[in-house]
Amino acid sequence: MLESLKSLLPGKVSTAPADLETHGRDEGHLLQRPPLAVVYAESLADVQAALAWARAERIPVVPFGAGTSLEGHVVPQGPALSLDLSRMNRVLRVAPQDFLAEVEPGLTRKALNEALKGTGLFFPVDPGADATLGGMAATNASGTTTVRYGGMRANVLALQVVLANGEVLELGRGVRKTSAGYDLKDLFIGSEGTLGIITRLTLRLHPLPEHIHTLRVFFGSLESTAEAAYRVMASGLPVARLELVDARAIAAINRYLGRSYPEEPALFVEFHSSTREALGAESALALELMREAGALQVDVAHTQEERTAQWEARHQAYWAMVNLYPGRNYLITDTAVPLSKMPELVAYASRLLGELGLAGNIVGHVGDGNFHTLVVYEQGDSRPEEFAERLVERALALGGTCTGEHGVGLRKRKYLPKEHGPALEWMRRIKHLFDPENLLNPGKVFEAASVS
C-alpha cells in the first residue's frame, strides 16, 4: 500500500523508525502512537497528492509542524499519515509598506523575524517554543506579547487552505479589515488541522518598538502578585508583557539557568513605546500600582542582553521544572477567565495544589487572564487529573474557558460539552461539512472514531 505513495511522492515519504517515533508524539501528552508513514510535503501539489492518496486508501491525515504542541494534537488515533509541512518554509513576500508578509506554513516564527531584520518590523506572537507559523495558526497560539499585540487570530490576515477533497480555498485578504461575507479564515484558525491543511499565510507585521522598559517585580505572596497584575491591567496602561511566575518556578529557573533571582512570586513586565517620555510615565504608574499591591523588590533589565535573559527565564520555566523532577510525568493546564476573576482562580489553583499534596508551579500570561499550572506526578497517580478537572470546573463557573491557548487536542475534549453546550453539535456539523469522511486529524477536538 505504501509503495504506491512512495511512487507518487518519490523521496518525500519516510517509514524510518526514528521519523515515525518523532511524528507519533508531542511535547505534552503521554499517549504516543507512530503513524504508518511520514510525508514531507514541499509544495501545494505535494499536499494535494498526499490527500488524494489518503482519500483513495481511506487513511486519515494528521498535519505536523514542529511537534511543539502540548495536548496530543499530532498523535494519530489509528493508522494514519503524518503530513509534515516543515519543508514548506519559505518567506514568499514581505511588503513593509503594507506591514505584512506571506509565508509558507513550515516557516518558524524565529526564522520569520530573522528574515525581517532591516525592515523595522517584527512578528510579535511568541508562544515560547520555536513553533511553525502554520501550526501556530492551527492552534490559535499566543504567548507573552499577546496582551498588547494579540494572538494568531489577530495577526493572520489571509490563509490558503487545502480541504480533504483537494480543493484549495483562499480565505481572507491582505487588508486590515473586510466585511465581505462570512469570516471563514478565522474558522480555520484554531481548528487544529481538523478542517483543512494550511499551505500559505499572510501575516500582520508590527513596527519594532523604539523604547523598551523591562522589569522583574517581586512580592511576598502569590495573591498579592495576581492582584498587582489585575491593577495594572485595570488601569488601562498599554503593557506589552505581563507574566506571573510563582516562587517554585523562580527556584527551578535559578537552578536550571544559574540565576540568582529572589525566590518569591514575581511579575515579569515589559512596556513598549515610541517615545521615552511616554515609556517613563507608563512604567512609573505601573510601578506605583504594584507597590500599592505589595511589591517588595523591583529589578530593571537595563540592556538588551538583560532583557533577553529575563524572557529566556520565563520561556524556560517548563524545562526548569522538568529538570527539577527528572523522570516524572507532567500535566499542564491553561485555563483563562475574565480578568477580574484571575486573582481568584490563581489563588484557588495554589490552594488546590496544597490540598491534593501535589508538586507544581503556576506561571502565565495573567494580563490576558490566562495562566498555566505544571503538575508533577508519578505514573498511575489520579490526583493530577482531579486537579485539572476541578480547576476547569472553577474556571467555567467564573465565566472562563478550559483552554486559553494550548487548544483542545485529546486532553480537553471532555470539557467542551460543558463549555459550549448545544454549540458543540454545530461544530461537529461544520467538521462534517468540510471533511465528510473524517480524514483530517480525526479524534481531535471531538470524540470520534478514526477512519480506517
Of 320, 390, 322, 381, whose CA–CA distance to 355 is shortest? 390
* SS3 state at 171: strand
Q: What is the DSSP letter of 30?
A: S
Contact between residue 406 and residue 70 where contact means Cβ atoms under 8 Å apart: yes
111-153 tens-digit pLDDT: 999 999 999 999 999 998 899 999 999 999 999 999 999 999 9
Residue pair 376/321 in contact by the 8 Å Cβ criterion: yes
- The predicted pLDDT at position 274 comes to 85
Strand partners, 297: 218
What are the angstrom distances between the C-alpha of 183 and each of 157, 173, 178, 381?
11, 11, 9, 44
Nearest to 367 by CA among 146, 123, 142: 146
pLDDT tens-place string over residues 300-341: 998 999 999 999 999 999 999 999 999 899 999 999 999 999
Phi first, then psi: give them for residue 40, nearest 5 degrees: -95, 90
- What is the structure's pLDDT at 27? 82
Whole-angstrom distance, CA of residue 106 vs CA of residue 91: 10
Rounded percentage of the chain residues whose pLDDT exceeds 90: 93
> Count of CB atoms within 10 A of residue 335's CB?
28
- What is the layout of strands, in order, in the sheet containing 211-219? 295-301, 211-219, 266-273, 239-245, 359-364, 372-377, 329-333
Nearest to 333 by CA among 281, 265, 384: 384
Quote the pLDDT of residue 448: 60
Q: Is the pLDDT of residue 452 over 60?
A: no
Q: Taking residues 223-244, what's their average pLDDT?
A: 96
- How far apart CA 371 and CA 364 sit, in angstroms, is 4
Domains of the chain from N-terminus onward: 2-86 (3.30.43.10), 91-207 (3.30.465.10), 210-315 (3.30.70.2190), 325-414 (3.30.70.2740)
Q: Is 296 helix (H, G, I), strand (E, B) or coil?
A: strand
